[in-house]
Chains A and B, each alone.
Chain A
């Protein structure tokens, strides 16, 4: 059997301007701007689209009158792009737009952002939100392996410093930071200080996928989906975020290494391993998640992530440059779902060689991820320059 995504290419990506507040926009309008940007980036006409993923992309479907068209309301982020690819591979659609955006929905910052606060009856009454959920995972790892606040702060500083030199980042010019600077910021949920946490902002993002034969005629080189996987333990923020929470699939898979199965599947599909990854566009909701992912995906052994991220590999010029646009900590966290696509967008930009900062010279393989242990899910995608 050939590669499942051999005939599918990512041909368009676009981030709108990202900012703390984008005046004059709501989520629908900023998602439309992202959609048109990604279609233009691909060199396509809006009427070339015959499939969409996402509630806000449905607005594009409606306004452009491209219907009847294929539509999915897949969970946003990497699963949405995998589903778009499957739709093209199976012939249900030829050219699919995946888009989202958020603006105007979180302007009063008295409470943490609405997408960080679960409503479940077993957690909301205890003041849980994402930082606290992920902190419970981090604290357990510190207890088991001796992972230190300095190691976590270093990982956060590297990602934030990538954002500080990225003119497209919301926090452009904020930095550089040392691990000591990070540890000196105010505590949010121990062990996480302010500078170890995702930010909040507004913006839109979109991708366009099409079939390989169409991709050949377009202006930019296509980027290929080499493999992907999704690991879920159920709804986030209901069961306590227990590191040792296991399932029945395999005895070595637990919530603490969620994403391991997804990464194994992605690497197997691609015929690659961690050593072949040139850019690690890892999702960065909190500092510890960066350490955890290097362990979960097999870049280093269990409990070795803290030493791994401080060994010089994740900085620009290192073997595995990490989250090169500044991620959710500095580039943008544009709402409930926008940022879940932006590791993919950055991965595509890296493989095209068009990043305005922290371009990894000669990058051929990018690993893009979403989710995290505190949320009991992790999604993985491997992107490549060479058709599989």
Chain B
């Protein structure tokens, strides 16, 4: 069995843009952030200029509690590029605040992912010091 862990190779790294920079700054400080609409209260991700629910431009950054549950997953055996160690497990997580995020699952066996599994965010520095959010199953 393989225990999933953060990638250590020269994977492609995010290049923050003007809209997404606060998100990646949050990761570097160990906080998962999303955008909250000041008009309708809805959450938006990925970082945007418009609220996905009401098209308001009145968005502010909020801190997530970091917990959610697995919405879907896949176990990848043919890496996108050779730098990725296999297997790795992309997951979509439904966050408690009502938004979806894509990341990789770590801290469990590769065939342990289940839809509905409770997970929480964990930050890891990868190459070049970039900090990425990963998700780990919450112990029962």
A residues within 8 Å of B by Cβ? 110-112, 116-117, 119, 121-129, 131-132, 135-137, 139-140, 143, 186-191, 238-243, 245
Contact = CB atoms under 8 A, between A and B. Distances in A.
Main secondary structure of the interface of B (DSSP, over half): loop
Nearest to B103: A126
B82 interface: yes
A243 B126 CA distance: 30
A131 B75 CA distance: 11
A234 B39 CA distance: 24
Given A121-B15, A242-B100, A139 B80 contact: no
Contacts of B139: none
Contact of B76 (A119, A124, A132, A143): A132
Contacts of B15: 121
B18 interface: no
Given A143-B72, A143-B115, A238-B46, A136 B92 contact: yes
A183 to B, nearest CB: 14
B129 interface: no
B7 to A, nearest CB: 7
B17 A121 contact: yes
Given A112-B78, A128-B102, A136 B72 contact: yes
A102 to B, nearest CB: 20
B126 A125 contact: yes
B127 to A, nearest CB: 10
A126 to B, nearest CB: 5
A121 B104 contact: no
A189 B17 contact: no
A365 B80 CA distance: 39
B72 A127 contact: no
10 closest Cβ contacts across the A-B interface? A121-B14, A135-B74, A240-B102, A190-B75, A129-B80, A124-B12, A111-B81, A140-B72, A127-B84, A188-B78
B92 A119 contact: no
Given A122-B14, A127-B88, A243 B81 contact: no
B77 A187 contact: yes
Interface residues of B, number: 37
Interface of B: 7, 11-17, 20, 24, 45-46, 71-82, 84, 88, 90, 92, 100-104, 115, 126, 130, 132
Name the residue in B76, B101, B130 with the highest tally of chain A Cβ atoms < 10 Å from its Cβ.
B76
Contacts of B92: 136, 240-242
Given A127-B80, A143-B115, 10 more contacts: A119-B12, A122-B14, A122-B46, A125-B14, A126-B103, A126-B104, A128-B102, A131-B78, A186-B78, A240-B100
Nearest to A144: B115
Contacts of A117: 80-81
A133 to B, nearest CB: 9
Contacts of B13: 125
Name the residue in A126, A139, A241, A243 with the highest tally of chain B Cβ atoms < 10 Å from its Cβ.
A126
B47 to A, nearest CB: 9
B17 A140 contact: no
B16 to A, nearest CB: 7
Nearest to A123: B102
A128 B12 CA distance: 11
A119 B13 CA distance: 9
Contacts of B11: 124-125, 127
A230 to B, nearest CB: 21
Contact of B90 (A110, A121, A126): A126
Contacts of A111: 79-82
